[in-house]
Structure 1
């Protein structure tokens, strides 16, 4: 079995698990938009880690617990959709890379905004430097 074979299995599992999750689970803990971001299959194909992104973020921890609770049911559903000799056990994990990317992009945007404000002669907090200077002159 090659790494190309692993990639094919991971791709098939990703689509099948996503299809099952799109139809929804009968678990009130699972709320929001659940997206399967990637699947990693163990070298012996006995286990597969399914990484999920859940929005809004406030539902993520509770939703992933509901999904983990339904893992055996999801496995049976996926097994009926794919043609694999041996269906791996599914382990679900919360993928926080999108959150981290958003935080990094936010920090970059904030830095760019400050740089632009400084080049324009305005501090990043939005106040006009002339206003502050005038008020100091009036008090002296």
Structure 2
């Protein structure tokens, strides 16, 4: 049971919790929207952490998504410094932020499936 989760995944979970709190309460950039941290993947050597995020309500607005990416990129050194105070690690990974489009793509795929089912139901064929 102790070997179920690797050290890097436990560190990633801790960084995810701390980053969500720090971004919500401490980053005061007006370009930043309602950011949700979906996942943090930490490299085995703790050299970097890939942070995957979504932004509430901005799925189609590419300019606002770019503004959010720029805001997170400009705040990453501040966030890393604050994380180093909150999470006791000898080496604090460098942060790399990536927009996570899986939620948007999943919703789009679901809508396409629903549309295909509606079309099939509205155009019944005789299959006797």
Q: How does 1:88-127 map to 2 (within 5 A)?
A: 88-119=93-124
Kindly indicate whether residue 8 of structure 2 is the aligned counterpart of residue 6 of structure 1.
yes
Structure with the higher fraction of residues in helix conformation: 1
Alpha-carbon distance, 1:24 to partner: 4.7
Aligned residue pairs: how many? 118
Q: Which residue of 2 aligns with 1:79?
A: 84
1:40-91 C-alpha deviation (Å, 9 max, x unpaired): 1112111001011112222322111111111000111122111112111111
Q: Which residue of 1 aligns with 2:45?
A: 44
Structure number with the bigger relative contact order (C-alpha 8 A, sep ≥ 6) is 2
CA RMSD of superposed structures (Å): 1.7
Alpha-carbon distance, 1:119 to partner: 3.3
Q: Which has the larger radius of gyration?
A: 1
Q: Which residue of 2 aligns with 1:136?
A: none
Taking structure 2 as the reference length, the TM-score comes to 0.84
Kindly indicate whether residue 62 of structure 2 is the aligned counterpart of residue 61 of structure 1.
no
The runs of 5 or more residues in structure 1 that have no matched partner are 121-140
Q: Which runs of 4+ in 1 moved over 6 A?
A: none
The runs of 5 or more residues in structure 2 that have no matched partner are none
> C-alpha separation between the residues in 2 aligned to 1:116 and 1:25?
50
Q: Which residue of 1 aligns with 2:30?
A: 28
Taking structure 1 as the reference length, the TM-score comes to 0.78
> C-alpha separation between the residues in 1 aligned to 2:16 and 2:92?
13
> C-alpha separation between the residues in 2 aligned to 1:24 and 1:64?
17
